[in-house]
Chain A
Amino acid sequence: MKLKQFYRLLLFIVLMPFLSSCFEVIEEIAMKNDGTGDVALTINLSQSKTKLASVMLLDSVQGYKVPSKQKIQQELNEAVVYLKKSEGISNVKSTSDFNNYIATISFSFKDVSNINNITKNILALQKIKATNTSSYTYNKATKTFNRKYQAIGTAKTEFNKLKAKDKAVFNGATYTSIYRFESVVTSSTNPASNVSKSKKAVMLKSNIMDLINGKINVSNSIQLSK
């Protein structure tokens, strides 16, 4: 038996059933008063790294094909290329760390509405249908920042179609959004959101399961002092 086959057999029998999977998605938007700003997206799968290291040695797991490191890197690069071509987007950077399984993309925008549909289009590029509609607006005159989020009804039904084993992947997953401003926040409508001590940042932490199930809505309207 080849060493690789031996590993595979071992992983299948021994490791896979024991390892949990957890991941974090973090979205950070820094808004300037003039309406420009920066975005940083982070996907951190570090908590599941033992499992991922195991999974990466397999061809497929639970019926899904496991992408190679090269393939993941390539897709990340494609996303960067797409972003660079997008209107109002500049300064696109990406990092990937395959030891800790963390990937980031950051870029600057002229207007926050530039980023609307970007996620959707990037997902579409990978032939994944977006499960929500999300849009950002910033009104310079009134100094209000709005995020509208609407979970698509089918997301939940699609999710429920998944096998229990596959659903479990989302069990410990979290989504964090941080909005940062130059001015002081006077109000934030989403009750689940918190305003920082300096009153210049708003954070919302939620469980991805709750998002999918529609238990939590990340829509928010933030009023800045004039």
Chain B
Amino acid sequence: MKKILIVISLFLSFNLAKAQDLVKKIPANAFTVATIKGDNIFKLMFVKDFNESFLGKKLLTETSKSLDKSFTSIEDFGINLEKNMYYFNQLSDSITYNCFLIPIKDATKLESLINNKENKFKRDGDVRTMILPDSTSIIKWNNNMMYFVTGSISSSFFADSAKSARYGIKDIRFQNDDDLAIDSTVAVAVDSVAVAEPMIEEIPAPPIVKVKVQKKSTTKKNTKRTIGTKKTGKKKTAKKVKIDSDFEESREPREFAVDTASAMTPVHGIVDERYDAYQQERAEQDAKKKRLAFTWMTAQADQIFNGSYESIENNKSYTSSLDNKAIAELWVSSLQDVYNAISPEFGTYGKAGLMKGYGSLNAKLFMDNKSFRISTGLELSQEQADSYKKILNRKLNKNFLKYVNSEKALGFMSYSIDTKAYLEEFPKLLKQTYGSFLGAKMDQEIDLGAELFSLLLDEEAVSKVIKGDALFVINGLNTKDVTYTTYEYDDDYKQKEIVKTKKETLPDFLFMFSSEDTRLINKLIKYGVNKNYVSVENNIYKILEKKSPIDIYFMIKDGIVFFGNSLTEMQGISNNQYNSNKLSKLHKQLLSKNNFSFLFNAKNLVGKVPDSEIGGEETAKKFNSTLEKMGNVYMKSNPIKGRLVSADISAEIPNGHENALKYLFSLIENAAK
């Protein structure tokens, strides 16, 4: 029985520890959330190793120096390194909050780090608060977490005099007496109304821009109290900000004095005087804005610490973007919403709805014993996702794979789309993305354009000529002799022009695309031959372009159109003698499984370029050693899952390194040497 109790209590405490992850503290309406996953990072590298690394040492000595203390480990900062650190921001039409949530292990260590003579912190029970000089940011912490918030007022919001007047703030401009006068009356009028109404004590926070939150069905009811995301009457309550009463009282008379003074100055009065008055006025207004921002920030910080509100954990888009193995993550709630939120800043150009159909964006960073990997994803609207699914419903022509030689290839790039679907879906996508930009009035015109597009193009016929898949591959380097002119001097220094040869190393490239119907291409070739743009020999065509520094050949074989600069390669393809079966597993996977892939294999370049061409032996040595250290770098698109399109970029690490993080540190150390 006792054992069971212990197990249960252990289980509970484990759960409790889990639950303490600071993600709980991030409001559901956060716009951006960035996470650094301490536990995953320090799995790759012990804290001790970090302290002894070049970067770690630099960090420790620099902080020691600037704070006049001696730190020997990053653990001395009091941060809990085994937990996740978060950054998030909240946007509204009037203020943007940038916030950090840092897990704390030892609050006293943290205090000794940030406390100094000029900056004492206040303690209120368990919670300690410190206001940074200039009142632009607030730090709040307890024994488990630290919260840092800094807010910036949106200038476009307060440029709207009707809105800013509600907060007793005027938008003033130099040499605009009329505006000043009008502004002040508005301000006074609204203020008196505001005073007449009962003061709202409760939530002095500005409205946060509404973000569609997909709630999990399991959401508990009591967590639904939000900090201003209540969908009804949200704006009303939030706008009535409680401003310090002394601030309120002292403002009116002073303001009046300045205004009357400036109003009584003759129009042709001394500009300097007016400018001074303007400057003073402006400074006052700025101070007001700052105080307002501070009031809002204080409220926001209190809310994070003591309030209860819906956490981002209930946001399905956010939770589904997470990956246990990532060491850092970034999530942006919705491109559409971000755009709508910031579009007022663009003025008349920022028509709402430009990014229509684009949902949340996420990026994740992975490091393991083989590679670095960045994975990015973008949520689309169902309609868009369906369009893209149709477009991407094509695989690369399998016959292409014969022409990739993994042992020699420096790199390749491939893509495959369904041309027919693309041409059909293109007008729709265009309309979705830009339709609102052109305004509702243009709807008909856009429709008409889309119809015309379909009418003029026979999608089916086009897709037969260009099926939509292509591969560009560099199968190694080739050296050729190039002649050049230089001079020789005889015993009497008489100049004699001579022709010398030198070797030039150039990559051999091959570009291919599939075509079912080559009639049009054949006609084009025939035209080219007639006009002497193209010459032909054994079905291999050569482009006769005098200006081109290299020869380019092309041909059509088995429904594939080939371009290349190596005649031998082209002949090999033509005679079915091209040595195939040299495709590695990785290359095969990349090419055959993805709609888009890119690969660069630096190792195949090592020592292949003559020293003289890189600029001497020394440069060549550096060049080659850099290349040697690089593994494969590749990019690929993943299949669409649900409404999510995603792509990965990976960089393999060279052998002899434990993992990517340690390799990164060694790179930094080498670079700093």
Task: Tell me the A residues contacting B by CB distance below 8 Å.
Answer: 3, 7, 10-11, 14-15, 18-20, 24, 26, 28, 44, 46-47, 49-51, 53-54, 56-57, 100, 102, 168, 171-172, 178, 180, 196-198, 200-203
Contacts and interface: CB of A to CB of B under 8 A. Distances in A.
A28 B495 contact: yes
Given A14-B507, A20-B612, A46 B547 contact: no
A1 to B, nearest CB: 10
Interface string B463-497: 00000000000100100001011110101110100
A19 B493 contact: no
A50 B549 contact: yes
B491 A49 contact: no
B613 interface: yes
Contact of A15 (B489, B493, B506, B612): B506
Contacts of A7: 545, 548
A20 B615 contact: yes
B253 interface: no
B325 to A, nearest CB: 34
B15 to A, nearest CB: 54
B495 A3 contact: no
Contacts of A26: 487, 495
Interface string B504-547: 11110100000000000000000000000000000000010101
B549 A54 contact: yes
A18 B493 contact: no
Nearest to B508: A14
Contact of A203 (B482, B489, B612): B489
Given A196-B492, A201-B493, A49 B482 contact: yes
Given A196-B492, A203-B493, A15 B549 contact: yes
Interface of B: 474, 477, 482, 484-487, 489, 491-493, 495, 502, 504-507, 509, 543, 545, 547-550, 609, 612-616
A72 to B, nearest CB: 14
A65 to B, nearest CB: 18
A19 B507 CA distance: 11
16 contacts: A7-B548, A18-B613, A20-B613, A20-B614, A44-B487, A46-B486, A49-B482, A50-B506, A56-B547, A168-B615, A178-B495, A197-B491, A197-B492, A198-B491, A198-B492, A201-B492
B477 to A, nearest CB: 8
Given A26-B495, A53-B547, A196-B493, 16 more contacts: A3-B543, A7-B548, A11-B549, A15-B506, A19-B504, A20-B612, A20-B615, A24-B487, A46-B485, A53-B549, A56-B547, A57-B549, A171-B615, A178-B489, A200-B492, A202-B493
Nearest to A40: B495
A142 to B, nearest CB: 24
A106 B616 CA distance: 34
Contact of A53 (B484, B486, B543, B548): B548
Contacts of B615: 20, 168, 171-172
Looking at chain A's contact residues, the main secondary structure is mixed
A102 B492 contact: no
- Highest count of chain B CB atoms <10 Å: which of A28, A46, A53, A178: A46
B607 to A, nearest CB: 14
Contacts of A168: 615
B66 to A, nearest CB: 32
Contacts of A49: 482, 484, 549
Nearest to A171: B615
A7 B609 CA distance: 22
A47 B486 contact: yes
A115 B615 CA distance: 35
A102 B613 contact: no
Nearest to B506: A18
A18 B507 contact: yes
A13 to B, nearest CB: 8
A203 B494 CA distance: 10
A203 B495 CA distance: 11
B492 A15 contact: no
A57 B616 contact: no
B520 to A, nearest CB: 15
Contacts of A44: 485-487
Contacts of B612: 20
Contact of A14 (B489, B491, B506, B545): B506
Contacts of A18: 477, 504-507, 609, 613
B638 to A, nearest CB: 25
Closest 9 CB pairs of A and B: A53-B549, A197-B491, A201-B493, A46-B484, A46-B485, A50-B549, A47-B484, A196-B493, A20-B613
Contacts of B548: 7, 53, 57
Contacts of A10: 509
Nearest to B614: A20
Nearest to B410: A14
Given A19-B504, A171-B615, A178-B493, A102 B482 contact: no
A207 B550 CA distance: 30
Given A46-B486, A201-B492, A14 B474 contact: yes
A112 B550 CA distance: 45
A57 B548 CA distance: 8
Contacts of B506: 14-15, 18, 50
Contacts of B616: 171
B486 A24 contact: yes
Nearest to B615: A171
Contact of A180 (B485, B493, B509): B493
A50 B504 contact: yes
Given A18-B505, A44-B485, A46-B484, A57 B547 contact: yes
- Highest count of chain B CB atoms <10 Å: which of A18, A24, A203: A18
Nearest to A10: B509
B495 A15 contact: no
Nearest to B485: A46
A173 to B, nearest CB: 12
Contacts of A201: 492-493
Nearest to A21: B615
A26 B549 CA distance: 26
